[in-house]
Every structure is written in structure tokens, then in C-alpha cells.
Amino acid sequence: MDTLNRKNSIVLHKNCTTALGRDNLSSKIDLSFLDPPFNQDKAYNAWDDNLPPEKYWEWMREICTKVYALTSDGGAIYFMQREKNTEFVLQALRDTGWTFQNLIIWKKKTSAVPGSKRFGKHYQIIAFATKGRTPRVFHKLRIDPPLPQGYKHARENGMFVTDVWDDIRELTSGYFAGDEALRDADGNRLHKQQAPIQLLLRIILSSTNPGDVVLDPFVGSGTTLVVAEQLGRKSIGIELDSENVALIERRLAEQRKSDDISRFFKDYACTSDLERIWGDNEIDRKFASSEF
């Protein structure tokens, strides 16, 4: 099985290093989300997660270069990594032609990872960059989180989303990951790096319009496709591990309640033109049947 087509999303069971060649992907990409293995010796079925650092960053530069070549003018990349790798991420993006826009701090809701000789770690980074200085799309989303302690006056129209995201809960290990985490019959997690749908919702809403094309070269459990499909965006996910490809197929077919993004619509209610940005779920058969 090489390719799965569903509605507006395509899953390629391939190594993204080769699949990202211009000859292989015919669509122009408007947004890419990169959540690669972090090279921290995690147990992946199909990938060595313990490369020498120089090899790993050479590989990341290769991926960034290939994604850049496929991206439309002004298109966006969001590259997620551990905070300790921030300088390497920014360097990789700069070296491969991307224009830096923001360093997003995704602050974790659960306790910090303690350190004995340094401060405890409490966030992950997401570097946002574009092809060229001006983003082709950037929707200034507005949210209305609870007022911080000491604030006396309620907001009139929420607040715009900043580069610190502290309102999105990560899917931690174990029970606390809740219903959204994919599990087997015994309750074990099926993909330990599964990203929360709220994270992809914010990224896709900010940097695309309905009908745009979203790429995830390390699509894992398929979170990017699950969200893109509900927002009426087309999406391409690439995944090396056949078990994950099968997992994505089941996840897309199942349409689980916990994957339904509509419950988050109200969180962005202060955003102007939200209904248009949110899009719909129209099936684009032309895209789904295109050759990859």
C-alpha cells in the first residue's frame, strides 16, 4: 500500500526524504507542519532516532530545502522542536531560504521537567517562517481566555493570539492524555507523539484559507490531516511506518467525537470573518484522484 486517498487528504506511505522531490508531489504547498522525530533515542518502529547531531541537522536542512521548493510564494512552515534545539531550528530555516516570522512558545499545561543544574523545562518551540517576507495568508485569530488574576475589566472583544501558546493542553503519557489519545484495546497509547488537534487547528486557521494545501512530512498519527479535512483544506501526509499509516486510515474513517474540531469554534468567536476562515468540508474529487 503506497497511497491512501480520502476526501481531501492523501497519505503517502513513504520516506519523506525521497517523497518530497518535485517530481513526486505535483501540488503547490501553502503550509507545512514539521514535527520530526527529535533524535532523542525514542523507540520508533521504522526509524533510527539516535543519529549523530550533525547528520540529524543535515537531514533537517534537506527536508526544509525540499519543502521550500514545493511551497507557494508567501507559504508557511511551522517547525516544532525541543526548546534546547532552538538555535539549530532557526539556523536550518535560515540556511534553506525561509524568512523567520515568530518563535512560538508552546507552554505545557502539565508540570515542568525538573533539572538539577538549570531551570525546569516547561515549553516546546514552534518556529514559524515563510517563503518570502510577506505571508500569503495570515489570519489574526482572537481568543478570549479567562482573565489573569488582578485584571479588573472584562475584555470587550477577546485578545489576539500571541507567540506564547499556553492554552493548549499536550497529550501527556498515560491516563491524563484523555479521550483524544489513540489507544489499543488495553488502553495503551498507539502513537506516543500524537499532537493535540487544538495545536493544528490554530496553525492551519492562522496560515491558510479553505481550499489551500497543507503538508505534513512526518504525519505520525494523522492529526494534521484530521484537522485539515474538517476545515476544508487539502492535505498530504507522509509516514514511514506502516503501522502508523494503518492507524491514520482508521482514524480518518472513524471520525471520532474526540477528533471533532467544532467544539473549539467558540474559542475563536471574537475573530472577524471566522466562518469564512473556518471553511467547510467539501469534497474535492479532483484533488483526491490526482496522481502522486
Cβ distance to ligand SAM smaller for residue 40 or 162: 40
Selected binder of ligand SAM within 131, 136, 191, 202 (CB under 6 A) = 191
Q: Is 37 in the site for ligand SAM (CB under 6 A)?
A: yes
- Residue 284 half-sphere exposure toward CB, CA atoms < 13 A: 19
Minimum distance between the CB of residue 18 and ligand SAM, rounded to whole angstroms?
8
Minimum distance between the CB of residue 267 and ligand SAM, rounded to whole angstroms?
20
Minimum distance between the CB of residue 152 and ligand SAM, rounded to whole angstroms?
40
Selected binder of ligand SAM within 17, 24, 86, 209 (CB under 6 A) = 17
Which residues ranging from 201 to 240 are in contact with ligand SAM (CB under 6 A)? 218, 220-221, 223, 238-240
Give the contacts of 275 (CB within 8 A, at least 6 positions apart): none
Selected binder of ligand SAM within 10, 11, 16, 161 (CB under 6 A) = 16
Q: Is 244 in the site for ligand SAM (CB under 6 A)?
A: yes
Minimum distance between the CB of residue 160 and ligand SAM, rounded to whole angstroms?
26
Q: Is 35 in the site for ligand SAM (CB under 6 A)?
A: yes
Q: Is 195 in the site for ligand SAM (CB under 6 A)?
A: yes
Which residues ranging from 44 to 83 are in contact with ligand SAM (CB under 6 A)? 44, 46-47
CA distance 143 to 291: 39
Cβ distance to ligand SAM smaller for residue 167 or 241: 241
Cβ distance to ligand SAM smaller for residue 237 or 271: 237
Minimum distance between the CB of residue 290 and ligand SAM, rounded to whole angstroms?
20
Residues of this chain that interact with ligand SAM (CB under 6 A) are 15-17, 35-37, 44, 46-47, 191, 193-195, 218, 220-221, 223, 238-241, 244
